[in-house]
Chain A
Amino acid sequence: MPPSADVVLSAAGIARRFAYRPVLTDVALTLRRGEVLLLVGPNGAGKTTLLRVLSGLLHPSAGHVNRPGAIGMVAHEAMLYPALTARENLRFFARLHGVDGRARVDELLEQVGLASRADDRVGTFSRGMLQRVAIARALLHEPALLLFDEPLSGLDATASRTLVELLQTFRERGTAMIIVSHEMERLGRVATHMARLAAGRLGPVESLAGRNAAAVFADLMRGDL
């Protein structure tokens, strides 16, 4: 694929082994501004490992990842300190990002609907609230690409709906996203592309433009495409 100013992530030939056990094999992926890739695949396919490699948390055993812009990540764990309040957590990470913290943190807490709980310790938060603080943490430095690992897992219906609405807002702003999830019904509305990772190999990236996301998902899960 030709290089473009819109490209927020390009990866080629990515492989990752753990103690000689291959988890990812020859993964190639390019993502542009505004694109939202829903990554599906069976358990143990290497989806979380791929996100960690793309984020830079994990070095690939082979291949290269190019990240022209900043990346934010929301994983299974919130990556926060339970003994600190939501505001303190965000201010700490804002400082490490070199962001002028105070106003940005208040703005994000408002955006994720946690302004009223800003001074409560995150150790007392529900899973849904933790997820929202984690999203605020990932947004502090206004990343061009957001990575989500099972963002709806463990959330109730209301929290899921709030999160999906947030993701739609990010998409409308042009933030590229990779979302690992099987919640096709709710996240299919946010995604612009879908791909299947199985046994560490990434299948073709399917555009959802003008197509029924559920049908594409069903086909991908059958491995028919």
Chain B
Amino acid sequence: MRALVRAAWHIALKDIAIEWRTKTAFASGLVFAVLVLAVLFFSRDPTAVSSQDIAPGALWVTFTFAAMLGLNRAFLLEREMRALDGILLTPVPKAAIFWGKFGANLVFVGTIEAISLPLFVLFYDVPIWIQLGELVLVIAMATIAFVAVGTLLSAMAVRTRYAELMLPLLLLPFLVPPLVGGVQLTARLLEGRPLSDLGGWLRLIGAFDVAFVTLAALLFPVVLDE
């Protein structure tokens, strides 16, 4: 168990170091996030629809597609010189690769979300500060679900010829439940409703967290087998 945790830690640190140095996924993710927030804001008719009405949807569309850029890259960097084969030749358990990638992806997506959130407030003028802790909890829970399944599917997609195209096709159907939950909870929190009223949606996202993380961790070693 200690060996698994240590190997996962080294793999995550390596991914973060590469992203820190190249900033390719981070830069594209961030530019994309700003663009989506701005486009959705300016596309509405302000006399008919208030910015608060479209804010939850805009927030989650931004997070989802910005995250997808990072998830795609997680395994593309392993394909470039077949570095993943180098890892597979070490005695590291395949599960460690999943947890390492999952951890690095969470850091990447979390960073994009942390930077996008103030921009979201700036554009949409929504009172997130009243229930900031609750909103962060909801974002974290939905993020865990889609990063887990995204990590698994990006390992699958990278083996195909059109990896960048395949990941969204494979991933989007799985994102529907946590995303719907995220949008519903965000909308209610922005209306000022307390988290204690939202137990049903929270339990739903929690269940998807457990199911997606467990399934992804179990299936990942199979996906790596040729």
CB-contact partner of B10 in A80, A81, A92, A141, under 8 A: A92
Contact A79 B90 (CB under 8 A): no
Check A71/B89 contact, CB under 8 A, given A80-B81, A95-B10: yes
Give A38-62 as 1s and 0s: 1 = Cβ < 8 Å from B's Cβ atoms.
Answer: 0000000000000010011111000
Among residues 12 to 60 in chain B, which have CB atoms less than 8 Å away from a CB atom of chain A? 14, 17-18, 21-22
Closest to A58 in B: B226
* Contact A97–B90 (Cβ < 8 Å): yes
A77 to B81, CA, bound (A): 5
**Contact at B89–A79, with CB atoms within 8 Å?**
yes
| Residue among A71, A73, A88, A93 with max Cβ neighbours from chain B (10 Å) | A93
The residue in chain A whose Cβ has the minimal distance to the Cβ of B85 is A79
Q: List residues of chain B with CB within 8 A of the CB of A137.
A: 86
**Are the CB atoms of B91 and A98 closer together than 8 Å?**
yes
Identify which of B3, B7, B14, B225 contacts A81 (C-beta below 8 A). B14
Report yes or no: A75 in contact with B18, Cβ–Cβ below 8 A: no
Question: Known interface pairs A83-B22, A84-B17. Does A93 touch B225 (Cβ–Cβ under 8 Å)?
Answer: no
A95 to B87, CA, bound (A): 11
Which residue of chain B is the closest to A92 with respect to CB atoms?
Answer: B14
A84 to B22, CA, bound (A): 10
Contacts of B219 in A (CB 8 A): none
Q: Within the assembled complex, what's the spacing in Å between the Cα atoms of A11 and B14?
A: 35
Give chain B nearest CB distance to A209 CB in angstroms. 31
In the complex, how many angstroms separate the beta carbon of B120 from the nearest chain A beta carbon? 31
Distance in angstroms between the alpha carbons of A97 and B88 in the assembled complex: 11
Whether the Cβ atoms of B82 and A56 lie closer than 8 Å is no
One of A59, A75, A98, A141 near B225 (C-beta < 8 A): A59
Contact B226 A59 (CB under 8 A): yes
Asked whether, in the complex, the Cβ of A82 is within 8 Å of the Cβ of B86, the reply is no
Q: Which of A91-129 contact B (CB under 8 A)?
A: 92-93, 95-98
Q: Are B21 and A93 within 8 A (Cβ)?
A: no
Does B114 sit within 8 A of A, measured CB to CB? Answer: no
Task: Give Cα A30 to B18, complex, Å.
Answer: 40
- Whether A79 lies near B226 (C-beta < 8 A) is no
In the complex the two chains form, what is the Cα distance from A75 to B83 in whole Å?
A: 11
Known: A59-B225, A95-B10, A96-B10. A79 touches B86 (CB 8 A): yes
A135 part of interface (Cβ distance < 8 Å):
no
How distant is A46 from chain B, measured CB to nearest CB, in Å? 14
Instruction: Contact check, B10 vs A57: say whether CB atoms are below 8 A apart.
Output: no
Question: Quick check: is A163 within 8 A (CB to CB) of the other chain?
Answer: no
Contact residue among A83, A95, A130 (Cβ-Cβ distance under 8 Å from B21): A83
Name B88's closest neighbour in chain A (CB-CB).
A57
**What residues on B are CB-neighbors of A141 within 8 Å?**
90
Q: Which residues of B contact A98 (CB under 8 A)?
A: 3, 91
Q: Which residues of A contact B225 (CB under 8 A)?
A: 59
In contact, B18 and A83 (Cβ under 8 angstroms)? yes
| A119 vs B10: C-alpha distance when bound (angstroms) | 19
**A95 CA to B92 CA, complexed, in Å:** 10
Docked Cα-Cα span, A170 to B120, in Å, equals 60
Offer 27 A-B interface pairs, CB within 8 angstroms, sorted by A. Answer: A55-B89, A57-B85, A57-B88, A57-B226, A58-B226, A77-B85, A79-B86, A80-B81, A80-B86, A81-B14, A81-B77, A81-B81, A82-B80, A83-B18, A83-B22, A84-B14, A88-B17, A92-B14, A95-B10, A96-B11, A96-B90, A96-B92, A97-B90, A97-B91, A130-B81, A137-B86, A141-B90
Other than the known A75-B82, A84-B14, what 9 A-B pairs have Cβ atoms closer than 8 Å?
A: A71-B89, A75-B85, A77-B81, A79-B83, A88-B17, A93-B87, A95-B10, A96-B7, A98-B3
**4 A-B pairs with least C-beta separation:** A79-B86, A77-B82, A96-B90, A83-B18
Instruction: Enumerate chain B interface residues (CB-CB to A < 8 A).
Output: 3, 6-7, 10-11, 14, 17-18, 21-22, 77, 80-83, 85-92, 225-226
